[in-house]
Structure 1
């Protein structure tokens, strides 16, 4: 996926997508895997991850909404985008893009771990 295409997919109206877009725009590294995964397989993984992050008091952005978006897709496939990190705010973003790479279906951010 080309940079301009990804930037076009990130909705600047949504807080999480806008923050992710800024991270990509300012040269943070990112990657989109082209191998699709059924959204239903990701729901339980991210539900567990959200519980772990909550227990660790780690800040998140859009996590619950992302899980609900994935749940609503059922077995439809999504591609994962990852390693989009930003310094301000200090978040790592995870993207879920439809199988055709035409829309971001969910985006979440994970803040720095609290020690």
Structure 2
């Protein structure tokens, strides 16, 4: 997948999509990993990450909304990707359809030690 194709898929799925798209178009690194993970499993993982982020005071974008979206996908297989801002102060996790044809959700997490 190329940068332009991914940017086109980042719309208004969550409030983190616009800053993720800006990071991507601003030259940030990105990756879409091979393989898939069931949506419900991702929802559990990211719900735990959300609890830890709140406890630690880590700034996030759309993490709760992303967990809600992932929960809706149940056992459906999803792909995972990530976009980093050029300065590595933010990481945006992407959750895509199994065939990587659409971004389903996006969350951002401020990096403590970029």
Q: TM-score surpassing 0.5?
A: yes
Deviations 1:63-99 (A, max 9, x none): 00000000001011110002x22268x4211000111
Q: SS at the partner of 2:24?
A: helix
In the TM superposition, what is the alpha-carbon distance from 1:22 to its structure 2 partner?
Answer: 0.7
Residue of structure 1 in register with 2:57 after alignment: 57
Residue of structure 2 in register with 1:40 after alignment: 40
Residue of structure 2 in register with 1:92 after alignment: 91
Q: Which TM-score applies when normalising by structure 1?
A: 0.88
Q: SS at the partner of 1:15?
A: coil
Taking the aligned partners of 2:24 and 2:63, their CA distance within structure 1 comes to 19
Taking the aligned partners of 2:66 and 2:20, their CA distance within structure 1 comes to 14
Question: Please, what is the CA RMSD of the aligned residues?
Answer: 2.1
Q: Does 1:102 align with 2:77?
A: no
Taking the aligned partners of 2:111 and 2:13, their CA distance within structure 1 comes to 24
Taking the aligned partners of 1:69 and 1:30, their CA distance within structure 2 comes to 22
Q: Which runs of 5+ in 2 are unaligned?
A: none
Given that residues 91 and 112 in structure 1 are in contact (C-alpha distance below 8 angstroms), is that contact kept between their aligned partners in structure 2? yes
